[in-house]
A and B are shown apart, each in its own frame.
Chain A
Amino acid sequence: MSKRKTKYSIERKKAQWGWIFVAPSLIVFAIFNFYPIFNAFYTSLFKKKLLSLKAPTFIGLHNYAYLLNSPDFWNSIRATVVFTIGTFIPLLIFSLLFAVLIMSRKRFQKFFQMAYYSPAVLSSVVAAAIWLIIFDPRGLANQWVNLMMNTPGIDHKWLANSIMVQLSTMLVYGWKYVGYFTIIFIVGLASIPKSIYEAARIDGGNQWKNFWYITLPLLKPTTILVSIMSMLQCLKTFSTQYLFTQGGAPLAPINVITMNVYHTAIRDHRIGRASAMSIILFIIMLFFTWVQFRSSRADEISY
């Protein structure tokens, strides 16, 4: 009798309905996410040419061994790490600053939110195309910098120098996504109860102290969320680098993993090797997602 009760308890029924409701999304997710991942892993174990009709040759982990010994692949890891670190840290700092700035304003809050968010609405291709024109040697970037620094006639080689082209991709990416993360920070800031600031004011806290001792600690979950989201986003970067190289920028300094995957598969037709590369990228991203879960669990905050 007691067993029957457990089986048909209210919680159990609720859970069943829960499963029924999430089943469609789980099925779609499995088809469009899990299947490609497993398929990519399976393909990575073969020597397979994209156009070949012959049966692919099973080579085990050879593609992984090749990549780990390839200077080109390590250059891609370097390019990805440099881009990710060089982009997500400024993104984090500037989006937080902009969010605090917007929230501190009494008027035009919505206008500034929209203004900062607008580049995120643009497609990456359009954004990169606009910046290609700006970075042209005769373009606005050289003109502005030369005007500000009083250095007429200097070509800062935005796309034509190994270091500058890396900075340029970071700049474009930061410009495009800073608004998106600003909005997330604004949501985080809005969720901090005003009563805490009021209590601090009674205790004699000034704005600077409020920011350091109230806002920042209470914003920690949002900060972690933004840092992990922006990091994952940066690891997947592709279109900016792709369009810049189409515009004549050198490939090697900005040959991030996704670009290498694209070239290995589409240009070289080596789909097995490209799959191995994408699996390695997936593992890196999975690691950071795990870090996110671990960190967010430790930093749950309740007001």
Chain B
Amino acid sequence: MKKLLTFFLFVLFLIMTVNTVNAVEITFWTHEDPNRTEIENRYIMEFEKANPGVTVKRVTNSSTKIQELVLTAFAANQGPDIFNMSIEDEYAYIVNERLAPIDFEAAGYPSLQAVYDAYVPGVLDPVTYKGNLYGLPLELTNWCLYLNKKVFRDVGLDPEKDYPKTWEEMVEVSDKIAIRDGEILSRRGFDFRYPYYLVSMVPMVEQLGGKLISDDGKTAIVNDEAWLKFLKFMQEWGPNGKILGSPTYANARKLFNKDNNDIGMCLTGLYQQGRIRNDNPDFYNSGEWMVVPFPVFEDAVKDVPAAYYGHYYMVNGQKPIENQKMAWKLIAYMLSHGEEYLTKVNIVIPTVKLMESETYKSMPYSKVFADDMAKGHVVYYAESSAEIQSLIREAVESVMLAGTSPEDALKTLKRKAQEVLEEG
């Protein structure tokens, strides 16, 4: 009896030891996207089945909240195994060496070069640092102009011909579409996506010949004339100018899906199509919406569309090596379903294979997005990009809402941005 008990305890100990050795728990933090959650939960189940002993905890939060959560977790050395954010927020993790470089073998590639070859040239540049690759793109997004044809026809405009090609036309068209009760807008023609100044507003300055940072990287806010013209344009746009829009009105992109006759146009990416289909299938199927390129100023010196940005999956370098390997394996497994991400979530994983596929080419308006992307550049990313973005926001808000003159706003922006650049 005693021998039997000893044997039983030995076997139990052995099982527990083996389980402990093989058990790997991967924590995976990402932003909310119901369409993506549905397919990724399935991939995770399949992955866990194919890799016994591995459990994956996928946690979602809003896209703004996730930045704070990941940051504070990393600051306490308790970051998740896998996370993703936009590159301008992720870059600080790369330069502070908090990440694990890709394990190409675990990810199923014969060499590091093979990883680069699998993706569209240049898209891995933002995550390449000191010869190492630190991320794989979940999506590469650029914004074009979505417009509601019914709203256009309502004011006697032909959406196919009269859509705004320039920012000056945008003012004219928006003024026609706008319905005002005195100073209060009940229908806007178009409105900007205000929190994202680097993606859509810096390119407007670049169209006029301005730059955020000089080529030698030493000067911030280059070409005062271009910046002033941009700031004057925004001042005119706002509630103290022509009353065409304001950051305090409801988000144009979200209103667009509802087709409630309260917005004519908005700026957003290809992914919006999946969201329209989910939120308002009737509108999606009606054919009453279309996508046109990002406008340019009439006297633009360069044709610069909205900057494109990437969300990259990254792996925490402070986790045990087994977790890192397993994390890269999971990332590669999920990203191998590029076509399903495209058709169900409308996000573009920029692999050569997907971009050349019929699935991508047959997506509504994918050519408009592809053409704009070919002309554009990646969003400004640096360790201090979030800080720089907030300074541009401050300048735009001060001219639009606080009554500051564009000259004074520019002076403040230049001083602060230069200080940030020099402090590093």
Contacts and interface: CB of A to CB of B under 8 A. Distances in A.
Nearest to B238: A160
A213 B16 CA distance: 78
5 contacts: A142-B184, A154-B183, A162-B401, A252-B402, A253-B402
Given A50-B71, A246-B64, A266-B71, A160 B250 contact: no
Contacts of B93: 51
Given A52-B96, A136-B248, A153-B183, A250 B401 contact: yes
Contacts of B68: 266
A198 interface: no
B387 A268 contact: yes
B182 A249 contact: no
B394 A51 contact: no
A138 interface: yes
Given A137-B246, A153-B180, 14 more contacts: A49-B96, A51-B93, A52-B96, A53-B97, A135-B248, A136-B248, A137-B249, A138-B184, A152-B181, A153-B181, A160-B247, A248-B248, A250-B398, A271-B75
Interface string B380-413: 0001101100100110011001110000000000
Contacts of B92: 51, 269
B182 A267 contact: no
Given A53-B98, A137-B249, A153-B183, A267 B402 contact: no
A127 interface: no
Interface string A47-85: 001111100000000000000000010000000000000
Interface in B179-216: 180-186, 194
Contacts of B183: 153-155
Contacts of A253: 402
Interface in B60-76: 64, 68, 71-72, 74-75
Given A136-B250, A160-B248, A267 B390 contact: yes
A53 B96 contact: yes
B239 A136 contact: no
B248 A137 contact: yes
Given A136-B248, A162-B402, A154 B182 contact: yes
A138 B255 CA distance: 14
Contact of B185 (A49, A137, A249, A267): A137
Interface of A: 49-53, 72, 135-138, 142, 152-155, 157, 159-162, 246-253, 263, 266-269, 271
Nearest to B246: A160
A154 B247 CA distance: 18
Contacts of B386: 267-268
A65 to B, nearest CB: 15
Contacts of A263: 390
Interface residues of B, number: 39
Nearest to B183: A155
Contact of B401 (A50, A138, A161): A161
B249 A267 contact: no
A269 B420 CA distance: 12
Contacts of A52: 96
- Which DSSP category, helix, strand, loop or mixed, fits chain A's interface? loop
Given A51-B96, A153-B181, A162-B402, A136 B249 contact: yes
Contacts of A251: 390, 393-394, 397
B402 A250 contact: yes
B112 to A, nearest CB: 24
Nearest to A263: B390
A82 to B, nearest CB: 15
B262 to A, nearest CB: 9
Contacts of A159: 248
Contacts of B246: 137, 160, 248
Contacts of A49: 96
Contacts of A269: 71, 92, 383
Contacts of A246: 64
A250 B238 CA distance: 13
Nearest to A255: B394
A52 B249 CA distance: 38
Given A154-B182, A157-B239, A248-B246, A162 B390 contact: no
Contacts of B394: 250-252
B327 to A, nearest CB: 19
B182 A153 contact: yes
Smallest CB-CB A-B distances: 9 pairs: A153-B182, A248-B247, A155-B183, A248-B248, A250-B397, A51-B96, A159-B248, A162-B402, A160-B248
Contacts of B402: 161-162, 250, 252-253
A131 to B, nearest CB: 12
A151 to B, nearest CB: 8
A102 B374 CA distance: 69
Nearest to B64: A246
B416 to A, nearest CB: 8
Nearest to A47: B423
A51 B91 CA distance: 11
A153 B184 contact: yes
Nearest to A161: B401
Contacts of B249: 136-137, 248
Contact of A155 (B239, B393, B403): B239
Contacts of B387: 267-268
A192 to B, nearest CB: 47
B97 to A, nearest CB: 6
A291 B180 CA distance: 52
A137 B184 contact: yes
Interface string B223-259: 0000000000000001100000011111000000000
A162 B403 contact: yes
Given A153-B182, A267-B387, A50 B97 contact: no
B260 to A, nearest CB: 12
Contacts of B194: 248
Interface in B361-384: 383-384
B186 to A, nearest CB: 6
Among B72, B393, B397, find the residue whose CB has the most chain A CB atoms closer than 10 A. Answer: B397
A53 B183 CA distance: 52
B396 to A, nearest CB: 9
Contacts of B98: 51, 53
Nearest to B423: A270
B235 to A, nearest CB: 13
A152 B246 CA distance: 20
